[in-house]
Amino acid sequence: MTLLIVSPILFPLLGMLINALFGQRMRERVVGWVASFAVIAAFAASVVLFVQLSQSHGEPLRLTLAPWITAGALNVAWGFLVDPLSAVMMLIVTGVGALIHIYSIGYMHGDPRFARYFVYLNLFVAAMLVLVMADNFLVLFVGWELVGLCSYLLIGFWFQDVKNAAAGRKAFVVNRIGDVGFVLGMLLIFATFGTLDFETVFAQVKVRGESLAAVASLITLLLFIGATGKSAQIPLFVWLPDAMAGPTPVSALIHAATMVTAGVYMMSRAHVLFELAPTTQALIALVGAITALVAGSSALRQVDIKKVLAYSTVSQLGFMVAAAGLGAYVAALFHLLTHAFFKALLFLGAGSVIHAMHAAHGDVDPQDMRAMGGLAKRMPFTFLTFVIGGLALAGLPPLAGFFSKDEVLLAAFADNPLVFVLLGITAAFTALYVGRQIVLVFLGEPRSANAAHAHESPAIMTMPLAVLALLTLAGGAINLPGGGWLHHWLEPVLHEAAKPLNVGLALVFTLIALGALALAWVWYRDAQRARLEVESALGRFLLSAWHIDAVYHATVLRAFYTLSTICSQLIDIGLIDAAVNAVGRSARAAADQLRAAQSGFVRNYGLLMFLGVIVLVVYFVVVR
């Protein structure tokens, strides 16, 4: 029983160990299946735990593995918790994770560091499970940092190209900025409550209530800064588009389906605290909505197939964060779940396209949509699944994305008109860029030799696509409007009332989405427009994501470089190095003078010895 609770973590760790120790000597297939089965086993264990949990009507399962830090008032244990919230996350992580592992066997075929890739991937799954199963803030933070590490390692997986290594570094550094906020939030929690255990903290919040409002605002603000780093929100979202430098399955697993949702999960987990701080919540909702709009509009002009999806991910994360800020945690988690399905599907589909473009020999960038076109005929299966994922993202009924997005919009409609308007515009943009992407990639005529000679990917890559497509088709059913299954399931944790379906709202947004898709078809049937629009001022503005990177360069980075230059030139070279060099030079100068004493003549040395003896004798006989 005790082992069962941690077994979802242990299986991927075991897989990681096997591949790390013996991966070099095993055949590629064996390595891939060891890693995949480790995650499949973790998924099976998660299902068993899920069933147990539903039999006990949501009574959480707890396990304290060992004490970790015991210092004065601070008591932290390796404690794990399986409650309805973490169970849902575990199923997403291991389920989607298993599919992506299997897909990777095909995608990474022939890579010289095949085994290392799966070691990192297994480690990531284990770390993500630590994050969602933690029963206190510090263990959550351990998982939080470990997934950040895996993200860094996998973004820079092809580090031979300096660009990729730089992208990994950027992700790492930007995430650290957020982590500082998270750590400060944790310290404040400890200072306020004297513990980091979720259960104790939340119980105290319920007892002490309003008296904590001020400190809760600060705590939640700091925790939210952590979330903006991990979940790629303004102002720290800049790392996620660059993170596309990693292998595509990694983008699907880490930078779309699981890790980037950690911030949303953390806010849902600590919702008791957030509910005490209406100011922070309003800020969170606004930040989420603005992020959604900025990223959604940026996706409109991207030319890289993965960059579109990357900005789309940031935009959809904005939806989730906005929902969390509005207090609609179920909606946020529901969108998280469906987004995990359809965005993983889209990324894997894009990976399949890139794989095909790469395999067909030609001289174009295999990720440039301007060089694609007409792939629907050559890769019918990928096309079909990609369209399913795309329509779900656009929010067409009855696909999964429709229901979850509708719930978020519903919550905004009821509470916050500004957020509602922002998200509504973003929804229209979403349909537009999805339509643009599908038209540019799959329809029309091939615009390069690569596209003309592309072939469908192998079955090991298309099977996960099929499974994810099915989940995308049917995923909405788990939380039908008006209080679906997910609502009931999360009830013990989130205590949230379900909202009824607003037919008018749903109808309006369906029509908007259809209109935007139609517009995309009209605009981009002739690919010329896609080529030209990037040239315009607006095109450049959106392509560079509102020039935010440039702004950061001009302000934060320039100031930092100036400071570094002062430190290195003036203080390090001018002061410290100069002092050290002076010591070295004086030693050398002294040696130059003293080396004359080493004449090399034995008799000379003898003379000096004799002199020494006489001095000693004089001292002992005459002086003393």
Binding residues for another protein, per CB under 8 A?
594-604, 606-607, 610-611, 614, 617-618, 621-622
Q: In this complex, which beta carbon is closest to another protein, that of residue 25 or of residue 603?
A: 603
Burial of residue 576 (CB within 10 Å: 0-12, 13-18, 19+) is exposed
Query: Measured from the CB of residue 609, what is the shortest distance to another protein in angstroms?
Result: 9
Rg over CA atoms, the chain = 29
What is the DSSP-derived secondary structure letter of residue 60?
P
Query: Measured from the CB of residue 582, what is the shortest distance to another protein in angstroms?
Result: 23
CA distances from 314 to 232, 256, 343, 548 (A): 6, 9, 11, 14
- Calpha distance 43→3 (Å, rounded): 15
Query: Measured from the CB of residue 611, what is the shortest distance to another protein in angstroms?
Result: 6
DSSP 3-state of 154: helix
Q: In this complex, which beta carbon is closest to another protein, that of residue 3 or of residue 614?
A: 614
Query: Measured from the CB of residue 587, what is the shortest distance to another protein in angstroms?
Result: 15
Closest CA to 15 of 104, 119, 98: 119
Q: In this complex, which beta carbon is closest to another protein, that of residue 69 or of residue 609?
A: 609
- Calpha distance 33→24 (Å, rounded): 14
Q: In this complex, which beta carbon is closest to another protein, that of residue 22 or of residue 605?
A: 605
Query: Measured from the CB of residue 610, what is the shortest distance to another protein in angstroms?
Result: 6
Q: Extract the tokens encoding 538.
A: 């607006």
Torsion of the alpha carbons at 180, 162, 35 and 42, rounded to the nearest 10: 20
Q: In this complex, which beta carbon is closest to another protein, that of residue 565 or of residue 599?
A: 599
Q: In this complex, which beta carbon is closest to another protein, that of residue 581 or of residue 599?
A: 599
Q: In this complex, which beta carbon is closest to another protein, that of residue 66 or of residue 594?
A: 594
Q: In this complex, which beta carbon is closest to another protein, that of residue 54 or of residue 599?
A: 599
Chain centroid, CA 396 distance in Å: 26
What is the DSSP-derived secondary structure letter of residue 23?
G
- Calpha distance 531→267 (Å, rounded): 41
Query: Measured from the CB of residue 613, what is the shortest distance to another protein in angstroms?
Result: 8
DSSP 3-state of 403: helix
N residues, the chain: 624
Query: Measured from the CB of residue 620, what is the shortest distance to another protein in angstroms?
Result: 10
Cis peptide before 241 (omega within 30 of 0): no
Q: In this complex, which beta carbon is closest to another protein, that of residue 162 or of residue 622?
A: 622
Query: Measured from the CB of residue 619, what is the shortest distance to another protein in angstroms?
Result: 11
The residues pairing with 67 across neighbouring beta strands, listed in sequence order, are 77
Query: Measured from the CB of residue 595, what is the shortest distance to another protein in angstroms?
Result: 4
Query: Measured from the CB of residue 607, what is the shortest distance to another protein in angstroms?
Result: 5
Q: In this complex, which beta carbon is closest to another protein, that of residue 55 or of residue 598?
A: 598
Residue whose pair of structure tokens reads 């803030």 in the numeric block? 137
Q: For the residues of 560-596, what is the DSSP string, one character each? A: HHHHHHIIIIIIIIIIIIHHHHHHHHHHHHHHHHHGG
Q: In this complex, which beta carbon is closest to another protein, that of residue 2 or of residue 604?
A: 604
Query: Measured from the CB of residue 584, what is the shortest distance to another protein in angstroms?
Result: 19
CA distances from 471 to 123, 265, 456, 466 (A): 25, 21, 22, 9
First to last CA, the chain: 85
- Calpha distance 209→192 (Å, rounded): 13
Q: Are 390 and 353 in contact (CB under 8 A)?
A: no
